[in-house]
Structure 1
Amino acid sequence: MTKAMTKAALTLAACLLCSSALSAEPRNDCPASGQEGIAQLHHDWLMIGWERDAGDPDFNFRQDVGKYYDFTRDDLNLFDDFDPQLKVRNTADDYGTIWYGLVPKFRSVKHKITEGPTAVPVGPGYGHSVMEFVFEVTPKQGDVMHLISRSSILWRCGADGWKIYKEHNSAKPVEASVYHRAK
């Protein structure tokens, strides 16, 4: 084998290794339970990421909930019916644009989990969680809103642990008493 052929073979081998490392194939080594398991992540995504108190620093999607999303991918499927455009978003940054338009209008957002999160493994490198919660949104202007929401998340295991791959959130208004009765 000539030097040029050896160099070409090494370059090809390096390219194959790089492309397989960047492939869409999920990993299989993410924790099934515990602090980094998907049930706890789903809980924390809501109660730490989206909870807002009056006087909190300005909302920053990447900083506040970014640990749950993969900002390098464009094959995501992210939907929330709070989106005025009711679009499925394919990147975390595009999904964040919804919240940069809405969250600054809120003085506070308080959540109470009413069901779950329940986690189920769905295949090598994937897991699903579902949760129901009620929440109270206090806008900077206007009346307080009370809603109930169902959140369904398909998680993909990657180099940085579990990240949201598919997300669907649907909410509807409820009476204030529903929120206040929840634990």
Structure 2
Amino acid sequence: MLNIVLFGPPGAGKGTQSEKLIEKYNIEHISTGDLFRKHLGEGTELGKLARKYMDEGNLVPDEVVIGMVEDKINHSLDANGVIFDGFPRTVAQAEALDALLTKKGTAISGMIALEVPEEELKNRLMERGKTSGRVDDQDEEKINNRIKVYNQETLPVANFYEKQGKLSKIHGVGAIDEIFQKICAVVDKY
């Protein structure tokens, strides 16, 4: 089973590249952002709880996220693999994901980290905010907080997978298809 963590800061292009990877490799997509939006849209208790944290630009607590991810994995066991987009966001989540996958008889094949300079991220997020209607991409203060939270709380996850020999870094600036080809070269090695 091909299990990939697509990693990078907000605005790095994870969603765009995930779509292309899903199509090429016929794998399931697990995006915590999509899971949150589903729960927010349906107005579930989990959605209301997630909204509180997201509106402040903070991370949703691990136990909530991990429970949602486990439910999605349970529905994806017959897939060729899974691409994790925006998860894990903390070392505790990475440890929990590794334990969960081990229990299911599989593991993370590798982490692909998209690296994009901070100014480029801010520009991309503001542009996305204009076209997507996503409120969290329209407020410069929230964008700055999301990037700060990523650098402080999420970036250490790359070190976690690097210690396992599973980290590949990709320069995430340039033509979408060029970046995709670089990602595919890494995935094909898995």
* Same fold at TM > 0.5: no
> Normalising to structure 2: TM-score of the pair?
0.23
Return the structure number with greater helix share. Answer: 2
Bigger radius of gyration, 1 or 2? Answer: 1
> Normalising to structure 1: TM-score of the pair?
0.24
